[in-house]
Chains A and B, each alone.
Chain A
Amino acid sequence: MNFHAIKAIYRFEMARTGRTLFQSIVSPVLSTSLYFVVFGAAIGSRIEEVDGVSYGAFIVPGLIMLSLLTQSVSNASFGIYFPRFTGTIYEVLSAPVSYLEIVIAYVGAAATKSILVGLIILATAHLFVPLDIQHPVWMLLFLMLTAVTFALLGFILGIWADNFEKLQFVPLLVVTPLAFLGGSFYSINMLPPFWQTVTLFNPVVYLISGFRWSFYGQADVSIGLSVFMTFLFLVICLAVISWIFKTGWRLRA
């Protein structure tokens, strides 16, 4: 293992985050606060408790997941796409680093950043609603697993994309809608039966449900299923990445 290289790339990526502190940290906090104002205060006052939790508190796990998913994907995709775009990727390709090390460094940095954002949102939410987390270890575990999985997805996206439009496409048109429809703002039990069934095809449902369980001990689907699905996505992403690198696809001509 070339640990010096992993460290170098990781630190480089984290320094990039540091330079764009406003965009990386302030904007998710701001948008979360807006969600609270709109959904929590304005609409939430008309909604009774959901599953025995006040609506404001109910949406917190979903809001964190929403940011976590989009941030992980866009951080990781940008992190690898940008050097490809500018050509500075030549240095990484010419260095004595394996694909595994490249993935660990880029995905690790992207996941770290989105976990930080997730925790900051959690702290922000705490200002609006009282929170009491029933399973903090599970909460952190879900946070990390999801961040890593979606950073892997973002990494794949960053390798696949050959223009900025494609780079924006997935977080904006796939991940965000799935997160919205995956029960960020409602319990899927509130849906008519037909839509409940449809929703079960949305992978994000399992992530949000499991994450919410770690907060309030309640879930739309069983916690075992959530854990299983989370690992399944992780394994799928890892498989895709190892396939990509076996073929050298899109990184080396």
Chain B
Amino acid sequence: MSPILKITNLSKVYDSGFHALKGIDLEIKRGELFALLGPNGAGKTTLISIICGIVNASGGTVTVDGHDIARDFRAARAEIGLVPQELTTDAFETVWATVNFSRGLFGKPKNHAIVEKVLKDLSLWDKRDNKLITLSGGMKRRVLIAKALAHEPRVLFLDEPTAGVDVELRRDMWRVVRRLQETGVTIILTTHYIEEAEDLADRVGVINGGEIILVEDKVELMRKLGRKQLILHLADPLEAVPETLAERGLELGQNGETLVYTYDTQAERTGITALLKDLHAAGIRFRDLQTRQSSLEDIFVNLVKAPS
């Protein structure tokens, strides 16, 4: 199937001369949830803003469902919904009016049933007659999501939707996102909460300094870059790692009560059998053992830190 979003050699130089995007190539598959990760200032918002038509690209092309965002902007934008990073809403409009406004703006005829459903899904129905200025930040965030969904987009961009949002709203939001994904909506998400990407995403992209440095299936990524640790809880605390085991790269943890062995799941031999034999020989006994897979967060931090 052709990709829903195809970005080719996209670059952006701001008027200030700042090179925010440097030749981005990226394809988003139909119906997937793609998490775009990257440190502050990496270019995530710039990338999304170009695709959505808020910022002009300096070079390169983007097509949304085959429609070029410049030449065929109407068809391209009609498919897109955007929840921006900044909380910007009108003040004196009501929730109901502003969400209906968004639907009209995107060229869709009035449809109160759809707007009603969107508001109910986001627990905004009770607030429909409230003026936006009277809503809390989290509620405004919901309104922005409702506005983005009012015209039934096929591609939804969520630019850090969970920044400053409480647990309940986050859960609500992910419920809505999952349901959208079930109806075939493609979702592109940026977030600094990596556990979110870990929970939700099908694929993960990492952008740093205006360049995509990695795009990978999430499960694959965790398997490939994930390191595993074997943690041995000792029966008798140790002062130091015994001489005989020095070469195995063990670390002593928790006041000498644990031994931590880090290994690569991809390696031919993990060395666990040999290690256990040596421990036995050294007379070290243990009460318990556990393994731990490194999280996406660890992977991410390693990637972004690495000098490129």
Q: Which residues of A come within 8 Å of B, CB atoms? A: 2, 4-5, 7-9, 11-12, 15-16, 19, 86-88, 90-98, 248, 252-253
Cβ of A252 and Cβ of B89 under 8 Å apart? no
Interface contact A91-B105, CB-CB below 8 Å: yes
For residues 49 through 105 of chain B, which have their beta carbon under 8 Å from a beta carbon of chain A? 49, 52-56, 73-78, 80, 82, 84, 86, 88-90, 92-93, 97, 100-105
Residue B307, interface by CB 8 Å: no
CB <8 Å contact, A94 and B108:
no
CB contacts (< 8 Å) of A9 on chain B: these are: 105
Q: Which 5 pairs between the two chains have the least Cβ-Cβ distance?
A: A8-B104, A87-B88, A96-B74, A96-B77, A94-B52
Do the beta carbons of B80 and A94 come within 8 Å of each other? yes
Judged by a CB distance under 8 angstroms, whether B107 is at the interface is: yes
Report chain B residues within 8 Å CB of A86: 88, 90
Contact (Cβ within 8 A) A94 B82? yes
Contacting pair A253 B75 (CB below 8 A): no
A95 touches B77 (CB 8 A): yes
Q: Known contacts A5-B106, A94-B80, A96-B107: does B56 contact A248 (CB below 8 Å)? A: yes
- CA gap between A7 and B106 in the complex, in Å: 11
User: B: which residues have CB within 8 A of A?
Assistant: 14-15, 49, 52-56, 73-78, 80, 82, 84, 86, 88-90, 92-93, 97, 100-109, 147
User: Which single residue of chain A is at the shortest CB-CB distance from B90?
Assistant: A88
Nearest-neighbour CB distance to chain B for A7, whole angstroms, equals: 6
CA distance A93 to B108 in the complex (A): 16
A to B CB contacts below 8 Å, 23 in the list: A2-B107, A4-B103, A4-B109, A5-B107, A7-B104, A8-B103, A12-B93, A12-B101, A15-B93, A86-B90, A88-B90, A90-B54, A91-B105, A91-B147, A92-B105, A93-B52, A94-B77, A94-B80, A96-B76, A252-B53, A253-B14, A253-B54, A253-B56
Other than the known A11-B101, A93-B54, A253-B14, what 20 A-B pairs have Cβ atoms closer than 8 Å? A2-B107, A4-B106, A4-B108, A4-B109, A5-B107, A8-B101, A11-B104, A19-B92, A87-B88, A88-B90, A93-B52, A94-B52, A94-B80, A94-B82, A95-B77, A95-B107, A96-B73, A96-B74, A96-B78, A97-B107
Bound complex: CA of A95 vs CA of B108, how far in Å?
11
- Whether A253 contacts B55 in the complex (CB less than 8 A), given A87-B86, A96-B74, comes out as yes
Which residues from chain A contact B147 at a C-beta distance below 8 Å?
91
Q: In this complex, what residue of A is CB-closest to B77? A: A96
CB neighbours of B86 from chain A (8 A):
87
Counted as pairs of residues, one from A and one from B, with CB atoms less than 8 Å apart, the total is: 79
B55 touches A252 (CB 8 A): yes
CA A86 – CA B53 in complex, angstroms?
Answer: 18
Q: From residue A13, how far is it (CB to closest CB) to chain B in Å?
A: 11
Distance of A86 Cα from B78 Cα, bound (Å): 24
How far in angstroms is the closest Cβ of chain A from B26? Answer: 19
Interface centre among A15, A87, A95, by most chain B C-beta atoms within 10 angstroms, is: A95
Q: Are B52 and A252 in touch, CB under 8 angstroms?
A: no
CB-based contact A253/B15 at 8 Å: yes
Q: Which A residues are in CB contact (< 8 Å) with B54?
A: 90, 93-94, 252-253
Chain B contacts of A15 at CB under 8 A?
A: 93, 97
User: Which residues of B lie under 8 Å from residue A91 when comparing CB positions?
Assistant: 102, 105, 147
Chain B residues lying within 8 Å of A96, measured Cβ to Cβ, are 73-78, 106-107
- Of chain B, the residue at the smallest CB distance from A86 is B88
Q: How far is the CA of A7 from the CA of B52 in the complex (A)?
A: 22
